[in-house]
Structure 1
Amino acid sequence: MKIGLYLGDGSGPSTVVNELLTAAGAGLDSVFLSQLPSWDALTLVAIGAAAVPGIELGTAVVPTYPRHPLTLAAQALTVQAVATAGFTLGIGPSHQQYIEGSLGYRYDHPARHIREYLTVLRPLLHGEAVDVHGETVTAVGRLDLPVAVAPSVLVSALGPVMLRTAGELADGTVTVWTGPRTVGDHIVPTITRAAAGAGRPAPRVVIGVGVCVTTDPDRVRAEVAAQLGFAADFPAYRAVLDREGWSEVHETVVAGTEEVVERALRRYADVGATEVLVNLLGDPRERARTLEVVAALRSAG
């Protein structure tokens, strides 16, 4: 199982470059950036790729509704051109509260939207022309860009319909707030069956997890609850929390001794996750120790 670093705090260019240097120095496989109402994640990835060329980079995730697939494909191929160690484009429909409440777009039929979006995006990333007139996406044309290797595409798929779409039309899924039981019993088998049925390779299953080596796990979880507890009200996250038997997002946090953290992360590998993205939590000392433990686990395989 690969282990990468997840940056979900809206860090700016200098911080991102420093985090990339730290992750690369620790021997981690990748660094993924979230797209928040802040710095542009794709621009940050391009800056980071130029500054630290030896580590895979990705997004987790770029919302699709505000970016037409022709535009996003051009951005992704531009990033791919400078990301010599590889670039993964993670996309997703985001949530109704943001897409409608903040941006004013209609959040109609998100699963259908993602399927139509991928029927445009994937050919464009492979240098092909598109002529799609769907119910949620219309796109005609091609990009005048050289394509040596297309970026890998992941979808923030959690429910069965989205997982089937990701298995059939993308390279895998990237998740958050998902426990190991849900990964092993629901996410892995659903997306794997879909990929096999479509004649595609085994999918990537990339799991984002908040992690902290600490003597006070209750404090760490309380901090997550205070900052991000609202996420439990989003229907997609509510569904995966319910599957795991959890009530709140802070229950997904892996926190405790070195042994507790190692055991919890290995369990994700045991249930079929191909990659784990670690979101370092806690104070600076705890974050530094957590990185050491995670790096040692990656080195040990």
Structure 2
Amino acid sequence: MSRWGITIPLPGVPLAQHRRIVEELADLGYTDIWTSEKAGTDAFTPLALASQWAEQLRLGTAVASVYTRGPALLAMNAATLAGLAPGRFVLGIGASSQVIVQRWNAGEYATPLRRVRDTLLFLRSALGGEKVTETYETFSVSGFRLEYAVDPPPPIALAALRPEMLRLAAKEADGVITNWLAPGDVRQIREVVGQSVELVARVFVCPTADGALARRLGRRLIAEYLTVPAYAAFQNWLGRGEVLKPMHDAWNRGDRCEALEMIPDEVVDDLIVHGAPEACRDRIQSYVDNGLSTPIIALVPTGDDPVGHVRSLGPPGIATAVRCEVSPEARRHPSMAR
């Protein structure tokens, strides 16, 4: 069986209230917890908490930007998590986007491929216990060494969309992280990265039988993300350039409402998993069937209970069985069993 991940924090659930569901995840069939980093929580704090709530689960960042932290601080963040969860932490790094790096964090978003490569080289040395004095192409480090040994050093995965970054990830990293693809697109990614590397992808899931609602929410996400140049180029490489051109044209004119209307239903249905829980699980499994190693579910807020959605979206064959069992809470407190 492949791995099966969930993104935390869950939408609408304060981080401090996650312990209960995190403690259930392994029983529900989940193997992984992954975080993202945009404008909510940072990538590391939720994993620090989860490391103490669920000792069976693998933890990963998808992703921590190589621009918004200095190289040494990124190494320290990774070392902290690796110490809290020895052998269970994956450091996922990536270039992020110009909006996040430059507009929101006052950084310079330049030469992302080289910056990601240089950061990977530095982290390999630093997390391996070396004292690093090195001039890389995009930055220099002089005399840095972690105060505490990292044993074992965490694997490092790279976020990648297009062929050049995908090839770098497959060649130099321990895994590849990607995003915004349909099940059939996995094969195109595999043609570049090969079959042996772990391929991780965040999959947006909107668990509702209300197709109109799912498509409305999906269009908002698609317009928000796929108008970012890196994602636009990725979709063009995957073959959606022409069908998404009307959206881009309207967006560039400043007409956000028309941009949403220009997104075809078939694109939403390709890129957003939606439907009843059983249909969603089967759709996620189809990514695995096409070659994905680790799907990471990212819940799209529907106004319903996200914790209930997590309980219903575990791997096919496991989630159904678990729902028929007494919950871990009920086993600890028999009066809660119903």
TM-score by length of 2: 0.78
Partner of residue 133, structure 1: 135
How far 1:33 sits from its partner (Å)? 1.1
How far 1:50 sits from its partner (Å)? 1.7
Code of the residue aligned with 1:26 in structure 2: it is L
Answer yes or no: is the 8 Å Cα contact 1:156–1:173 preserved in 2: yes
Distance 2:184 2:85 in 1: 34
Answer yes or no: is the 8 Å Cα contact 2:21–2:307 preserved in 1: no
Distance 1:20 1:82 in 2: 16
Partner of residue 226, structure 2: 232
How far 1:189 sits from its partner (Å)? 2.2
Partner of residue 210, structure 2: 216
Match of 1:144 among 143, 147, 151: 147
Match of 1:270 among 286, 289, 306: 289
Code of the residue aligned with 1:173 in structure 2: it is V
Partner of residue 115, structure 1: 117
Partner of residue 5, structure 2: 4
Distance 2:34 2:24 in 1: 14
Partner of residue 69, structure 1: 71
Partner of residue 102, structure 1: 104
Match of 1:254 among 262, 270, 273: 273
Q: Deviations over 1:80-131 (max 9, x none)?
A: 1111460111111111122111222111111111111111012212222333
Larger Rg: 2
Answer yes or no: is the 8 Å Cα contact 2:313–2:319 preserved in 1: no
Measured on the aligned residues, the alpha-carbon RMSD in Å equals: 2.5
Partner of residue 40, structure 1: 42
Match of 2:185 among 164, 168, 182: 182
Partner of residue 160, structure 2: 157
Distance 1:289 1:142 in 2: 43
Runs of 4+ in structure 1 over 6 Å off: none
Partner of residue 199, structure 1: none
Code of the residue aligned with 1:75 in structure 2: it is N
Distance 2:284 2:49 in 1: 30
Gaps spanning 5+ residues in structure 2: where? 245-262, 321-338
Distance 2:110 2:309 in 1: 44
Label 1:173 to 1:32 Cα distance change in 2 as closer, same or farther (>3 A).
Answer: same
Q: Deviations over 1:215-252 (max 9, x none)?
A: 21231231233356221111221123331536358441
Gaps spanning 5+ residues in structure 1: where? 194-201
Answer yes or no: is the 8 Å Cα contact 2:177–2:199 preserved in 1: yes
User: Are 1:279 and 2:298 counterparts?
Assistant: yes
SS in 1 for 2:314: helix
Percent identity over the alignment is 27
Answer yes or no: is the 8 Å Cα contact 1:49–1:84 preserved in 2: no
Count matched residues: 291
Which stretch shows the higher mean deviation, 257-266 or 73-82?
257-266
Code of the residue aligned with 1:267 in structure 2: it is S
Which stretch shows the higher mean deviation, 288-297 or 206-215?
288-297
Q: Deviations over 1:145-199 (max 9, x none)?
A: 12211112111101111111111221111122112232211x2221228xxxxxx
Partner of residue 59, structure 2: 57
